[in-house]
Amino acid sequence: MLRDITIGQYYPTESVIHRLDPRTKLFGTVVFLVSLFVSRQLSAYILATLFLFGVIRLSNVPFKFITKGLKGVIFLLILSVSFNLFLTPGREIFRLGFLKMTWEGLQISAFMALRLIYLVLGSSVMTLTTTPTQLTDGLERGLGILKKFGVPVHEIAMMMSIALRFIPILIEETDKIMKAQMARGADFESGGLVQKAKAMIPLLVPLFISAFRRASDLAMAMEARCYHGGEGRTKMKPLVYAARDRIAYLVLWLYLAAMIGSRFLPL
């Protein structure tokens, strides 16, 4: 299951979405995530579904590869849906002991499940089509206005991109350590909650040591390359908007307007 987490990974291929400016993709991701909360109408979720699947189609990333990231949130999805399904007051569908399923709970649970699924898929599309370098440049340029208020935008963007890049690395490291410990007789499955927590110690200790070692190696590599922050730095590939980015912005604004307008529809 650890290898199924797609957040932070990059899928190299040729597509319209890959060629978009990273600022466009970051803005589009924010617009899509915000749009999921501006309306609870059925028509809004149909529009969001069409938009998301259209972007996935244009990205040329296999749909099966993107949906692998949903396996990591299955427990959270089931938990949130169950609470809303049986603890929301309203018109009763059926009762199982003290648990009561209602039509209102069913509606809220369905919308919450879709929101969580679309949040993961939308974020995965952005990271799968954007390299860490592009992501850093896009964040720095997109948040450039905050420099006037003394916010270290470059450092924040660098930290966020490094943290995002380290997710798949640490996941792979965890998988290797777990297999090595299991080969030595470690048991991570049997026993109660306390036993399982104690069994994680042989996994967490080498993982933390490996993470600190990688962080130290990265710091030494950045110092060896004379990295001293973003002051006075230039870009090898400056970000420039193309015609496709302007079209993408227009589509995003039309999509957001349609989502807001769906609030006034009966369904």
CB 57 within 8 A of CB 15: no
Q: Phi first, then psi: what are they for 144, rounded to 5°?
A: -60, -30
> Which pLDDT does position 245 carry in this prediction?
95
Backbone angle region of 21, left / alpha / beta, with phi > 0 → left and psi within -120 to 50 → alpha: beta
Tell me which residue has tokens 């999509």.
Answer: 255
> Which pLDDT does position 250 carry in this prediction?
96
Tell me which residue has tokens 């969580």.
Answer: 116
CB 171 within 8 A of CB 142: no
Query: In the predicted model, is pLDDT for residue 244 greater than 70?
Result: yes
Contacts of 172 (CB under 8 A, 6+ apart): 2, 3
Query: In the predicted model, is pLDDT for residue 131 greater than 80?
Result: yes
Query: What Å distances lie between residue 108 and 7, 37, 50, 89, 112, CA to CA?
Result: 26, 12, 21, 11, 6
Higher pLDDT, 72 or 29: 29
- On the CB side of 240, CA atoms within 13 Å amount to 6
Query: In the predicted model, is pLDDT for residue 123 greater than 90?
Result: no
> Which pLDDT does position 153 carry in this prediction?
82
pTM above 0.85, yes or no: no
CB atoms within 10 A of CB 260: 13
* Residue 211: both structure tokens together: 């993470």
pLDDT band at 6, cuts 50/70/90?
A: low
C-alpha–C-alpha distance, residues 55 and 122, integer Å: 9
CB atoms within 10 A of CB 56: 21
Using one digit for the tens of pLDDT, what is the confidence trace for 19-68? 999 999 999 999 999 998 887 788 888 999 999 999 999 999 998 888 87
Using one digit for the tens of pLDDT, what is the confidence trace for 164-209? 778 778 878 888 888 888 888 777 777 766 777 777 788 888 888 8
> Which pLDDT does position 3 carry in this prediction?
54
CB 61 within 8 A of CB 13: yes
Domain boundaries, the chain: 2-264
> Which pLDDT does position 127 carry in this prediction?
86
pLDDT band at 247, cuts 50/70/90?
A: very high
C-alpha–C-alpha distance, residues 7 and 77, integer Å: 17
CB 17 within 8 A of CB 59: yes
Q: What is the dihedral of CA 83, 84, 87, 92, to 10 degrees?
A: -140
Question: What type of residue is 258?
Answer: A
* Residue 151: both structure tokens together: 């916010």
In terms of average pLDDT, the best of 103-107, 111-115, 120-124, 255-259 is 255-259
Higher pLDDT, 265 or 261: 261
* Residue 40: both structure tokens together: 């609870």
> Which pLDDT does position 26 carry in this prediction?
92
